[in-house]
């Protein structure tokens, strides 16, 4: 059996989500909500202390920002009869961090007429014990009158799992809570920090290490929590020996030229939405995930890794047909090694799509995608010859040279929404003779 890995950041996120679900929370969003949003939602749902205040990153595209708060734009969608116990999961961005500006969070709401501080603390103790076991003890440590640290005492260690506090009036209003006797709490868990603590890592730099030597430390065969299409894709790739990494979410200005993609002012496809103010060396958002993939392949080659299979699932920000900002969920994967060649890689992509539920697909060659070897680049189409927003093939020699990758390497880029819709159509299809 192939050893399966799971990135520790996402494994820890699933462990935390599961703990909340076992305590009667519902998962209102599992990373699907937009990461770029209008500045109307740039406020705090509770009085956050300085330690976790993030600076919004403003985009040149209209009045959009990269969110620094996870739950605020979803509050009006979380309305429900009491008690309210809901969590959301996803990424936020911090304009104060020019090295690793993206963080992964779980944020949540608890609202009920009987949810005073004592009862709220008991709820946290139950959640924490699901994650760390029966010997873990939890306490709410006051920072001020309305804000607390959720401190976890382990047998020989301790950590701050979360920050929490009473919901602001704006947050309560958006939740539809108008009565003063309804206790409403908001909390925020920085999964980056929790993972670094639990995995005994030195820093976020180590957490985002894309090399096989780091990723293979975290083996596991547990599936991704839930039944999302993205989770299914991730589990299939893990089953076939691919390792999930977490790449850059904001790109440097020359990343597309480095991977041999045209990047001129007229080319809206390969020019991501720009930041209003550059964040150190980072200047814009990705339209595809392959620049980060090639950087990860290069890091592995320079680290001496002989055989590499990597993938990443994340948000991209291409322009739509009218030239405005859009946001989509996308997959990229790449590989090199003695057992990977043009024939084997094409077969593995064929098998992957089939197992994903896209049995009726076709590969059509193209010589126009110069980020690839123009003699080995394939578009993915369905049986009606409609483009499924995916392509794969050999990485161009120029891109390999620019990244310092000294072997033949391969990659795929696939938008997940068209793939999911195609898989759903195949699943629902009934032959006419059976109707």
Residue 360, pLDDT above cutoff 90: yes
Instruction: Sheet containing 410-415: give its strands across.
Output: 243-244, 308-316, 328-336, 410-415, 387-395, 372-382, 361-365
Instruction: Report pLDDT for 269.
Output: 62
φ, ψ for residue 135 (rounded to 5)?
Answer: -85, -10
Calculate mean pLDDT across residues 48-73: 90
Instruction: Report pLDDT for 404.
Output: 97
Instruction: Report pLDDT for 322.
Output: 67
Q: What domains appear along the chain, each with residue ranges and CATH number?
A: 8-207 (3.30.930.10), 212-428 (3.30.930.10)
> Tens digits of per-residue pLDDT, 274-291?
899 999 999 999 999 999
Instruction: Report pLDDT for 265.
Output: 57
| Alpha helical stretches, state H, 165-313 | 169-175, 191-198, 204-207, 212-215, 229-239, 255-258, 290-302
> Tens digits of per-residue pLDDT, 216-236?
999 989 999 999 999 999 999
pLDDT band for position 267 (cuts 50, 70, 90):
low
Angle at the Cα of 236 (from 4 to 272), degrees rounded to 5?
Answer: 105
> Tens digits of per-residue pLDDT, 114-167?
899 999 999 999 999 999 999 999 999 999 888 999 999 999 999 999 999 999
Calculate mean pLDDT across residues 194-205: 96
Query: Shortest CA distance to 210 belongs to which of 101, 289, 312?
Result: 312
Residue 40, pLDDT above cutoff 90: no
Looking only at the bridges linking them, the beta strands covering 183-190 and 102-112 are antiparallel
Name the percent of the chain lying above pLDDT 90: 81
> Tens digits of per-residue pLDDT, 167-185?
999 999 999 998 888 999 9
Between residues 353 and 63, the one the model is more confident about: 353
Name the percent of the chain lying above pLDDT 70: 96
pTM: 0.94
> Tens digits of per-residue pLDDT, 385-430?
999 999 999 999 999 999 999 999 999 999 999 999 999 999 988 7
Instruction: Report pLDDT for 304.
Output: 98
Looking only at the bridges linking them, the beta strands covering 147-153 and 137-142 are antiparallel
């Amino acid at each position: 059996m192939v050893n399966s890995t799971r990135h520790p950041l996402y494994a820890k996120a699933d462990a935390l989500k599961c703990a909340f679900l076992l305590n009667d929370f519902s998962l209102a969003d599992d990373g699907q909500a937009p990461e770029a949003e209008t500045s109307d939602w740039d406020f705090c749902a509770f009085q956050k202390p300085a330690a976790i205040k993030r600076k919004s990153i403003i985009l040149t595209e209209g009045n959009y920002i990269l969110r620094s708060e996870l739950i605020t734009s979803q509050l009006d969608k979380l309305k429900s009869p009491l008690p309210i116990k809901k969590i959301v999961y996803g990424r936020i961005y911090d304009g104060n961090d020019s090295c690793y500006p993206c963080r992964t969070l779980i944020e949540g709401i608890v609202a009920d007429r009987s949810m005073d501080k004592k009862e709220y603390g008991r709820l946290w103790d139950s959640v924490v014990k699901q994650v760390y076991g029966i010997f873990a003890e939890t306490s709410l440590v006051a920072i001020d009158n309305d804000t607390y640290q959720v401190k976890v005492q382990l047998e020989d260690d301790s950590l701050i799992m979360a920050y929490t506090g009473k919901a602001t009036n704006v947050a309560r209003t958006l939740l539809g809570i108008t009565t003063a006797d309804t206790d409403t709490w908001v909390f925020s868990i920085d999964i980056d920090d929790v993972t670094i603590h639990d995995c005994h890592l030195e820093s976020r730099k180590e957490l985002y290490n894309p090399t096989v030597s780091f990723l293979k430390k975290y083996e596991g065969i547990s599936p991704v929590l839930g039944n999302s299409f993205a989770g299914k894709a991730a589990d299939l790739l893990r089953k076939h020996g691919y390792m999930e990494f977490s790449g850059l979410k904001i790109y440097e200005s020359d990343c597309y030229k480095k991977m041999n993609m045209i990047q001129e002012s007229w080319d809206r496809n390969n020019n991501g939405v720009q930041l209003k103010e550059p964040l150190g060396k980072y200047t814009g958002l990705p339209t595809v995930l392959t620049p980060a993939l090639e950087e990860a392949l290069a890091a592995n080659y320079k680290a001496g890794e002989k055989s590499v299979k990597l993938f990443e699932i994340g948000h991209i920000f291409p322009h739509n047909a009218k030239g405005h900002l859009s946001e989509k969920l996308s997959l990229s994967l790449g590989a090199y090694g003695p057992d990977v060649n043009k024939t084997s890689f094409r077969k593995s992509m064929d098998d992957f799509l089939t197992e994903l539920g896209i049995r009726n697909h076709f590969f059509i060659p193209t010589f126009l995608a110069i980020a690839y070897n123009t003699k080995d680049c394939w578009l993915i189409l369905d049986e009606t010859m409609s483009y499924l927003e995916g392509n794969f093939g050999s990485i161009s020699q120029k891109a390999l040279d620019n990244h310092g990758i000294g072997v033949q390497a391969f990659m795929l880029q696939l938008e997940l929404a068209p793939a999911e819709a195609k898989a759903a159509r195949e699943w629902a299809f009934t032959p006419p003779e059976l109707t």
